[in-house]
Structure 1
């Protein structure tokens, strides 16, 4: 939005400067007396009538209409421009006034028939009668109706066509509005009728039906073209870039728009070129060096490849250069020696190799630098830290080496953001802890996955520090109170180090703390932070003992609490019910005992609950039904004693249900309503005492035949029904499971022949039919030729390859399929389920990807659940991969 607002402002200024050449648009002090009666009465009346029909949407916003009153000549009113000789109102600017009014045929504004410039942008105009009076503005040359939110634009475009003198037109809408459409016919009419256009801005207007080749009809006098986020698609004609007067073109955020930059004859007076988030591709042409007036070039997130042309050195006026997220490779050329105006330089996420070019360190005006996520090597030269104007530096995820000292960093007095993470050979030195370094503006300090051995205590004077990430390093021992005293950090990540103790958490406004996978001992740390500020707390994977402190129940804004994989004991505190904002609670792999308390209040925000691997007993608390957002429930490997929780079926968001290795018992009924468990993707009830026929999902002591309907689960990747008491024949319908990669029916009582249809499973890489009562010839061909004897062991009636037992006569073929390809009337499974089982149980899941069945604990399932949980954590966690501060002084923002 920042760029769009700037765009409108620059056009307004350009037009006003143009208009000023023709006639004076504002009075001088010497002619003030002559202006007292300059305003024409009929036009003053029209303006006052318009004012009387408007409403101010925000009362606390100062607006120009306050100056509109009869005691002052209307030519002196704010937003009004008059012709000094005849007194006609020729300019009206009410932009960003937050006023609400109608724009219909009867609007008094249409009585201003000499109007040349009209700017109503960013207000709340409407036209309930779906009619206008634009034809009365025969002299209009500048029209800005951006961000007004008209519900239908077809009539509006018809009116615009009646204004052939238009020089500037802005009909942009707010991004995401989606209701403003411009088809190919109307666009052709627009460029055909408005032959004087120099400025055309249609940002976020839906132009998905406009053929890009139509842009070739644009007038040669066009200077500014704004088509950002217009849903343009297809091939963009490169000739448009060569329009002789073009200074700005913005095609950003048209993801399906393809094209190439001109390879030759490109010498347009370009100043601003924005192609970010498009599908432009190919190599950057050498001809780009001909754009000697270019100030901003944004090619972020395109598909450009190859190397950077050395002609880039000719762009001596460039201030903003963004090549993020492309496929550029090779060395970054040493072309920056003469680019003294450059303030923003980003090559994030490409394939550049080699060392950082030395000429970058001559860019004394540079404030933003990102070379992260490349393959750069070598050390960071000491004179890099002489770029004192730097506010943001990103060099993460490279192969940089050397040691960064506090003395070096202290030179960058304006630095706000520093990310050197994921450079495993790069270390950090305190450089003398007795020196009080000052970092007055530093807010983000990210050194994850480097080679740091000591806590950076020199940061204790960084009073504005918001985030400190030194995770995945080699920091060991204890962090002392004096090392962190004075820090006001909100996001602290010390995960994956070798810390054994933290003297004190003296931070007063902590929002998130991550201490995962250290060597912390003793009890859970007491956090002396503001109770209502803490949002995320991760202390899993340590050696902590004792109980959960009652003070943790005071974190009323806590959204994530992860204490897994410790040796915590005692009962789960009842007071955790006070944490009404909690969305993720992970207490698995500890020694908690007793009953699961009724923590789950009405309208609970909880979406993930992990209690696996404790010593919990009793029944599942029925208050879980209050957790309408619950997606993952894992209470496996405890001592719970209950029947199957049918009542959880009303939770419409539940996708993962793990009850394995408890004392659940009884039958799982087939009579549940169809809407129950409507979103369930993974269910594991193995190692319990469930009995009865195999229903729509898993069990333990199942018996009876394998349901024919399993063949309808066409997204199935894994099917494991091993170690049950299933009998009957293998359904030939399983041959329809075209995506199946693993099939385990071992240790049952299956009989008959192996269906020939199973040879259709071309992705099958794991087959286990052992220990059944199968007979006859083993099917041959395709994947079946790759399986060994182990797949069939314990079936004494089988013969043929790969067994040594030969078949003495041709066995009859497998029975024909008993199902109709088109008949799904008996389907009782959701089509996108996948099934997998373990031991005496069965697991259902959704499209789990490639998973090899491993005997013992089903780690594949654990990993899948954890991966799913990470998606949920992503809703809470802050992303640091590509944080780019705004640049308020340049055109892009």
Structure 2
């Protein structure tokens, strides 16, 4: 090479290694263009690259493999017109980029996508060359307010700031560059409104403002934007009417205005939009009908109008187009599905769930849609499937997903059995009868089957070879179904992850062969009539089993003491007839989060050894025979995750140790907002899918009712030690459990005052201290509990006035009954001026026919007694001497009639 070389292009040359400062490359002082893009260099960019090439106008190091800090000497390339440093592990600091923006006055193209600019002040961009045409800054970790004057650079054509989620800013109301061809602000935090001057961008082809904080109305100024091909304003805060001029764009291929608050109706007629491929207006407030022109546009591929307020029937249409995806779900569309919809030959996804469609869908209609793979019609209560053509062999070669829950299906449609369906949901229908072994064998590709909430009586065999989820809960299945399944080959469905057969009429025991289902994550046989003992193998089951729910059955015997599964998260064996002690091998289940063994016949002492389980959040052992005291020597880290504890209706005794409450850190923390079940997503995709489908129930006695919660771990904290033999004072440390919502210590022998610290439990909603031996006054500070909805302090030895204010003004006298020393509202006993109880005055007498009260005092009683005696003797004399005086009888009858009428 000689010094007269002016251009080198080694892009994609598979070059490796480092570029050293003594390379002969740096002797080419006349070099004007250098392209090292898409190679595999390592190390940093050598400074001589910038020192020696003073004539360089074009530099492309995109994807070259260089890393580290970009040398400040880059600002010496004063002749540079185009600079591309994208897709490398390079970093700009504040000084380096500030110098670049000030010194490279001829720069027209700046491409820095993927470089680390987190240390750069975005104010530096206001110094960019006025000749700038292309500015690509996507995924640069920019933050702060982007200078709006950049959008006014006179020659600016292309701006991309996408994927800078901490970058804010505003668009200028005027002086937008008339040369703009593309403006991409995807996933930033720009705000403000869209200026009406957008109507002057006659060269614009792409506008992408998806996922920003823009607001206000979208100006209806698109009539002259004839070159616009992509318009994406989704996921903002736009409101007002859908701009009508959008539907007059002649070149547009994508329109996305989804996830805003746009209103209005869609136009009845459209003559343009000939090139429109994707129309996404979902999650808005659009009303009116579904225009039929949507199904005739020649280029349309996707129609998404879901989650709006569309109404009315869909009319028939001519000239069906090539649309592949139709999503009209979650609207209020009525009437039958138009038959012309089934003439859309290319349709692959038809999503009409959660509307008010009606009518019958014939299998012959569906058979026209040969490319259909996703059919969703759930939550259309008046839609049914016809079985009239079941004798015909229809083929559905592509159909893989059918969601038909909460409709009016009465008979299982046989045409689904002959298809290659993978996901089938017919839950919440009226399907009765059974599914034979032959029918079940037809589902070769099925991996999810939901037939819950129907009237099925039998399922002779688990369908399909690849089934992962089988949900049959809330049917009429009866008999020893599990034993029947295991008597048929093959006994081992290799992929079954969820088996849900709760709330049926199953009998028999659990076959030990169930432990051969090694992929099982959830086993729910709850609320049946099953009996026998729990198989020993369930304790040392495959590592994948994480939910065991056998509650509300008739299982007896001991709980297996063979737990070795450290993946087990939920164990629900409550409401059975189990006996013996708590198996100590549960201490091996270090991932255990929910343990419910309530309502059995277990006999044991307080299981302090469970405190070593770091994730235990729910512990329910109510209605058993646990006895003895709670140990006072509990380590500081024990039960730290516990949010619900229920030991009610046992035989525990002695005082409640203060140490126990000091350790309950989860009850001290303020309630945190968490995604339901988010604490579970720690394993592979198959398991995560099961978690999203299944929610384990937890029963909690709250506000005098036993409630079943499906989402508790993020929202509820409760403690119930009621109906035991506890003595001593209630520990003040209970008041440190700031997030506690339910506290029940009733029916014990606690003595002493109600702790003043209870006023600190600001989240408390239900407090029951009834049937103890508590004494002293009710502290007025307890009125600070503004969420308190249920209070029961009855049957104690409390004295003094009842506090008034906030929630305490809503409680009736039942909350305080059988405390002879209490006084004040709502009790009838008044308090003396010293705050002590004085005898309650007699209740006033009320005349039923008048609205006034006569105080019931003894003077009036004695006067009435005397008068009554005289009148009584007089009336008696009259009756005996004159017979039945009609006028007295008429008065008495009229008075009685008045009283009965008022009652």
Question: Does TM-score exceed 0.5, indicating one fold?
Answer: yes
CA distance in 2, matches of 1:246, 1:793: 78
1:279–1:472 CA distance, 2 compared to 1 (3 A) = farther
Structure 2 match to 1:171: 112
Separation of aligned partners in 2, 1:234 and 1:452: 52
Supply the distance in 1 between the matched residues of 2:571 and 2:507 (Cα, whole angstroms): 21
> 741, 746, 750: which one pairs with 1:726?
750
The equivalent residue for 1:829 is none
Give the equivalent residue in structure 2 for 1:512.
Answer: 469
Contact 2:343 2:368 (C-alpha < 8 Å) held by counterparts: yes
Indicate the larger mover: 742-751 or 758-767: 758-767
Return the alpha-carbon distance in structure 1 between the equivalents of residues 79 and 151 of structure 2.
24
**Under a length normalisation based on structure 2, what TM-score does the superposition of the two structures give?**
0.74
CA distance in 2, matches of 1:123, 1:529: 56
Which whole-Å CA distance do the structure 2 matches of 1:133 and 1:52 have between them? 24
- How far off its partner does 1:631 sit? 1.5
Name the CA distance, whole Å, in 2 between partners of 1:461 and 1:119. Answer: 58
Q: 2:33 aligns with which of 83, 86, 90?
A: 90
User: Hey, what does 1:229 align to over in structure 2?
Assistant: 163
Aligned to 2:403: 446
Quote the Cα distance in structure 2 between the aligned partners of 1:784 and 1:262. Answer: 55
Please report how far the alpha carbon of residue 771 of structure 1 lies from its aligned counterpart in structure 2 after TM superposition: 0.9
Structure possessing the higher relative contact order (Cα contacts under 8 Å, 6 or more residues apart): 1
Contact 1:50 1:109 in 2 (8 A): no
Gaps of 5+ in 2: 20-24, 309-330, 662-719, 838-903
Question: Which of the numbers 829, 832, 835 marks the counterpart of 1:805?
Answer: 829
Whole-Å Cα distance in 1 between the matches of residues 284 and 441 of structure 2? 37
Partner of 2:883: none
Q: Distance in 1 between matches of 2:229 and 2:248?
A: 12
The 1:574/1:714 distance shift into structure 2, 3 A limit, reads closer
1:703 aligns with 2:659: no
Contact 2:467 2:493 in 1 (8 A): no
Q: CA deviation at 1:655?
A: 1.1
Q: Quick one: structure 1 residues 320 and 48, their matched pair in 2 at CA, closer, same or farther if it must change by over 3 Å?
A: closer
**640-649 or 46-55, larger mean C-alpha shift:** 46-55
Q: Is structure 2 residue 71 aligned with structure 1 residue 131?
A: yes
Determine the C-alpha separation between the residues in 2 that align with 1:207 and 1:396. 41
1:425-444 to 2 correspondences below 5 Å: 425-430=382-387, 432-444=389-401
**CA deviation profile, 1:671-712 (whole Å, cap 9, x unmatched):** 111111111111111122211111335643222222233333
Matched, 1:298 2:232: yes
Kept in 2, the 8 Å contact 1:735–1:758? The answer is: yes
- Structure 2 CA distance for partners of 1:812 and 1:795, relative to 1, 3 Å: closer
| Separation in structure 1 between the aligned mates of residue 458 and residue 175 of structure 2, nearest angstrom | 62
Whether 2:193 is the aligned partner of 1:260: answer yes
Asked if the contact 2:756/2:779 (under 8 Å) is kept, the reply is yes
In the superposition, relative to structure 1, how do residues 231 and 549 fare at CA in structure 2: closer, same or farther (>3 Å)?
A: same
What does residue range 410-421 of structure 1 map to in structure 2 within 5 Å?
410-421=367-378
1:314 shift after superposition: 0.8
1:246 alignment partner in structure 2: 180
Q: CA separation of 1:461/1:392 partners in 2, compared to 1, >3 Å: closer, same or farther?
A: same
* Deviation of the 1:442 alpha carbon: 2.9
* Structure 1 residue 216, shift from structure 2 partner: 4.6
| Residues 188-337 of structure 1: pairs in structure 2 closer than 5 A | 188-209=123-144, 211-214=145-148, 216=150, 218-232=152-166, 236-237=170-171, 239=173, 242-254=176-188, 256-263=189-196, 266-268=199-201, 269-334=203-268, 336=270
Question: For residues 640-675 of structure 1, what are the alpha-carbon distances to aligned partners after superposition, in whole Å with 9 as ceiling and x for unaligned?
Answer: 222222222222221111111222222111211111
Question: What is the match of residue 563 of structure 2?
Answer: 600
Q: Tell me how far apart the structure 2 counterparts of residues 217 and 343 of structure 1 sit (CA, whole Å).
A: 29
Cα pair 1:510 1:530 within 8 Å, conserved: no
Matched, 1:476 2:432: yes
Q: Determine if the alignment matches structure 1 residue 637 to structure 2 residue 574.
A: no
1:521-541 CA distances to partner (integer Å, 9 max, x unpaired)? 221245959744222222222
CA distance in 2, matches of 1:445, 1:798: 65
Contact 1:212–1:232 at 8 Å: present in 2 too? no
Deviations 1:369-398 (A, max 9, x none): 333333332233222233333333333222
Q: Is the 8 A contact 1:102 1:126 kept in 2?
A: yes
- In structure 1, how many angstroms separate the alpha carbons of the residues matched to 2:381 and 2:244? 31
Cα distance in structure 2, aligned partners of 1:287 and 1:645: 72
CA-CA distance at 1:154 after TM superposition: 4.2
Offset at residue 733 of structure 1 (A): 3.2
Q: 1:39 to 1:612 in 2, by over 3 A?
A: farther
Give the equivalent residue in structure 2 for 1:682: 644
Q: Do structure 1's residue 579 and structure 2's residue 542 form an aligned pair?
A: yes
TM-score by length of 1: 0.75
For structure 1, the residue ranges without an aligned partner over 5 or more in a row are 1-36, 56-73, 75-82, 814-893
1:145 is matched with which residue: 48, 70, 85?
A: 85
Question: Structure 1 pair 44/319, CA: closer, same or farther in 2 (3 Å)?
Answer: closer
Work out the CA distance in 2 between the residues paired with 1:105 and 1:229: 29
Quick one: distance in 1 between partners of 2:43 and 2:98? Answer: 18
Rate the CA distance shift 1:512–1:109 in 2: closer, same or farther, 3 A.
Answer: farther
Residues 1:348 and 1:555: Cα distance change in structure 2 (over 3 Å): farther
Following TM superposition, by how much is the alpha carbon of 1:330 offset from its aligned partner in structure 2, in angstroms?
A: 4.5
Higher Cα Rg, which structure: 2
Q: Secondary structure at the match of 2:375?
A: strand
In structure 2, relative to structure 1, the CA distance for the partners of 1:232 and 1:701 (3 Å cut) is: same
- Partner Cα distance (1:556, 1:201) in 2: 51
Judging changes above 3 Å, is the alpha-carbon distance between structure 1 residues 686 and 588 closer, same or farther for their aligned structure 2 residues? Answer: same
Provide closer, same or farther for how the CA distance between residues 404 and 227 of structure 1 changes in structure 2, counting only shifts above 3 A. Answer: farther
In structure 2, what is the equivalent of residue 369 of structure 1? Answer: 303
CA distance in 2, matches of 1:810, 1:376: 66
Q: Distance in 2 between matches of 1:121 and 1:615?
A: 70
Q: Distance in 1 between matches of 2:467 and 2:432?
A: 22
Q: Which residue of 1 aligns with 2:419?
A: 462
Paired residues, number = 737
Q: Which moved more, 1:511-520 or 1:148-157?
A: 148-157
